Structure 1
Amino acid sequence: MTSATTLHGSCHCGQLNLQFSTAQDPASLVPRACDCSFCRKHGAAYISDPAGRLSIHARGGALRHYQQGSNNADFLVCGCCGVLVAVVFEHLSRLYGAVNAGCLDGKARLAEAVPASPQMLSADDKISRWIRLWVPDVELSMSDAEIAAV
């Protein structure tokens, strides 16, 4: 692992933007395609790096939180265009997160997605898995900038 690569992404309308930094080669990042009904309907497959960094910025009050399943994680969805950009959860005052690979700019060349079935895990097992796999200390910021017309 050498210098960090920063991958950029956003929702469709650009109100939610993210930067994901990792020292891993993006081609070695394997998106995990969650098989729950919510993630399937959004076409979500998540990448993360427990040694990486993730910052998410929302403009104009566009950020919406959605919980389902065990209600431990918050899915971050744009209230304007409906794109799911990431999932986060808080544990012991730390915010952990994973990026929906589908919202990354087209330049990112990732490994092929593999299926994941977290719905088969208990709530405690999910939390242990997220702590082990997800990016810790996610930065989530918001501004009052006007929502752009879509």
Structure 2
Amino acid sequence: MSEYRGGCHCGNIHLTFETGIEPSEMEIRACQCAFCVRHGSRAAADPLGLLIVTVEDEACLHRYRFGLRTADYLICRDCGVYVAAVTTDGGDPRAIVIVNALDDRLRFSREPVPMDYDAESRDGRMARRQARWMPVEIRSAVSG
């Protein structure tokens, strides 16, 4: 497994993405919902990997929900950077990492695949995420 680090611009949110997939081989997804399009989102996940999100100040972590309300979109309240999406519905917590929030983002060089999930049912969305997203741990920098 290799580690890729990143986070938000102001340093409140830190990311550690562990994966066995080479960055140049990883599928990059470009969701076509209005939120992701407006953020220029390029998302990745390794179902056998792990995303660790460490937060310095929990009050500055915004968890935004919209649409079917099946995931928290993690955004720093201070600098506005969208770093990951996390779902806890349908089983174990799972996540995608936003490649643009990684320090080595240029290594994730595959052309993003446009994805449209508008026709998915709630159950279908949860099943897809459990299969394609990765395990996630959210930690407080203060309490570990």
- Give the superposition deviation at 1:103: 0.5
What secondary structure, in the 3-state scheme, does the structure 2 residue paired with 1:71 have? Answer: coil
Give the match for residue 37 of structure 2. Answer: 40
By how many angstroms is 1:60 displaced?
A: 1.7
Quote the residue 2:113 is aligned against: 114
Q: Distance in 1 between matches of 2:113 and 2:105?
A: 20
Q: Deviations over 1:67-109 (max 9, x none)?
A: 0111011000001011110000013552100001111113651
- Structure 1 window deviating more from structure 2 (100-109 vs 78-87): it is 100-109
- Equivalent-residue separation in structure 1 for 2:62 and 2:140 (angstroms): 12
1:87 equivalent in alignment to 2:81: no
1:6-85 aligned within 5 A: 6-61=3-58, 62-85=60-83
Pair 1:43–1:129, CA change in 2 (3 A) = same
1:32-90 Cα distance to aligned partner (Å, 9 max, x none): 10100011111112100110011001112221100011101100000101111000001
Residues of 2 paired with 1:58 and 1:80: CA distance? 12
Taking a change above 3 Å as real, the CA distance of residues 30 and 92 of structure 1, as seen in their structure-2 partners, is closer
How does the TM-score come out when normalised to structure 2? 0.91
Greater shift in the superposed pair: 30-39 or 111-120: 111-120
CA distance in 1, matches of 2:16, 2:134: 12
In 2, Cα distance between equivalents of 1:23 and 1:31: 15
Cα offset, 1:143, TM superposition: 3.5
- Structure 1 segments, 4+ long, off by >3 Å, are none
* Count of matched residue pairs: 141
Amino acid at match of 2:74: L
Is the 2:99–2:105 contact (alpha carbons within 8 Å) kept by the matching residues of 1? Answer: no
| Unpaired stretches in structure 1, ≥5 consecutive residues | 146-150
The alpha-carbon deviation at position 119 of structure 1 amounts to: 2.0
TM-score normalised per structure 1: 0.88
